[in-house]
Amino acid sequence: MKWFASELHTHTLHSDGRQTLEELAAGAAGLGFDAIALTDHNTMSGLIGRAEIGQKYGVHIIPGMEWTTFYGHMVTIGLEAFADWRDVNRHDIDKGIAAVHQHGGIAGIAHPFRIGSPACTGCYWEYELNDWNQVDYIEVWSGTFPSILRSNHRAFELWTQKLNEGYRITATSGRDWHTQEPTDDPISVTYLGIEEIDETRQSESPLEGQSGMNTYAEGEAWIGSVDEKDLINSLRKGRAAVTMGPLLTLTISSDEITYSLGAVIPAQQSRSQPVDAKLLAHVAVDFMVRAGKWSMPEQTLTLKLCSNLGEEQQVKIEWHPNQQRINFSMPLKIGTAAESCRRWIRAECWGTIRGAYVQIAFTNAIYFEEGARQT
User: ω into residue 146 within 30 of 0, thus cis?
Assistant: no
Please calculate the CA angle 152-157-159 and round it to the nearest 5 degrees.
95
Strands 344-353 and 264-265: unpaired
pLDDT attached to residue 129: 94
What rounded mean pLDDT belongs to the chain? Answer: 88
pLDDT attached to residue 271: 52
334/13 Cα distance (integer angstroms): 53
- Which is nearest to 6 in space by CA: 52, 64, 48, 45? 64
Cβ proximity of 38 and 297 under 8 Å: no
Stretch 169-178: mean pLDDT:
97
pLDDT attached to residue 82: 84
- Which is nearest to 349 in space by CA: 317, 323, 321, 309? 317
DSSP string, 186-201: ---EEEEEE----GGG
Amino acid sitting at position 177: W
90/71 Cα distance (integer angstroms): 6
pLDDT tens, residue by residue, 133-159: 999 999 999 999 999 999 999 999 999
pLDDT attached to residue 119: 82
Q: H/E/C letters for each residue in 220-278?
A: CCCECCCCHHHHHHHHHHCCEEEECCCEEEEEEEECCEEECCCCEECHHHHCCCCCCCE
Stretch 81-100: mean pLDDT:
91
Distances from the Cα of 9 to the Cαs of 75, 304, 314, in angstroms?
Answer: 8, 28, 32
SS3 64: strand
Give the model's confidence band at 105: pLDDT under 50 very low, under 70 low, under 90 confident, else very high.
Answer: very high
Give Cβ neighbours of residue 69 (< 8 Å, ≥ 6 apart).
Answer: 85, 88, 122
- Which is nearest to 58 in space by CA: 78, 32, 38? 32
- Which is nearest to 237 in space by CA: 260, 269, 204? 260
- Which H/E stretch holds residue 29? helix 21-30
Stretch 172-199: mean pLDDT:
90
308/164 Cα distance (integer angstroms): 5
pLDDT tens, residue by residue, 327-369: 999 998 776 655 678 999 999 999 999 999 999 999 999 999 8
Neighbours of 269 (CB within 10 A): 20
233/266 Cα distance (integer angstroms): 21
